[in-house]
Structure 1
């Protein structure tokens, strides 16, 4: 819909599947609205899948405006300066510059919620001892719906 949404130049992944059951991943730069590519392959191609790992937003349905994401005036969002340390961590993750209570959700590498904890300026430690070693995503949500995303490693 070029009249509504302008073209966005980006790289996209394509998964090429062969009759042998194997596949090959290629990344191609989309630099024009309509592009043609020639990719050398060995074997018979049985399928091509665009963005197999779902990196590009591709949901259908209405687009909703989230007013919590709008920064009005020069007011800095309350969670903008929040940081987490030490990173990597072991037993806890300290949330610095926390000005209000938040709900902390910890999500593992496959998208599962593995920990939920209320954190406040007075008790600003997220208890990470029960987590396995690995990379995690931390989603902080304030009472007004403002959100901040961080990443951390649990040793």
Structure 2
């Protein structure tokens, strides 16, 4: 049981360590009402912020807002800076929320609830005072992009690719035989093998889609996504 809990912790921790720029909802467009009654369409960048109700959640990256073709200070919503926005699944539907509260909802999406990533379209206003047809939020680039991961083993940098993968992964820069174990998030070992410089490919086509932990002789644990 302790080993399973450790593997689960390492899996969650490793997900949090993914480079933010590799897990960005590059833009979430939405309309905010200004104090003078006008309407402006703003674009925010979001970074991965962990799992909520079994699905990926995102928080706004604290940086300037992309507005038009230039960067402006963070948007003002009736005089309040919108720096606490988030995207998450509340158990029933996807929500785009403010004030760091998943119940303070700006937009919702309840027609695409089976995937772990927020949907790219279909968002509708939940009382936001905007009438422009373009105000429905659109997400761009909300894929987890791991593609190539670099780690150190015995002071050597090794590379895991592709990741996510549907059929195989390769581990490069190995100078010795290394025992490799792949476990699912419950701690169950699903594959044991040995990799080396001349035999560095691991077939994962027989694994179910999902998240796994790849362990290299207990010296390095690596997140792995089977798609």
TM-score, reference length from structure 1 = 0.46
TM-score of the aligned structures, taking structure 2 as reference length: 0.32
Which structure's residues are more often strand, by fraction? Answer: 2
More helix as a share of residues: 2
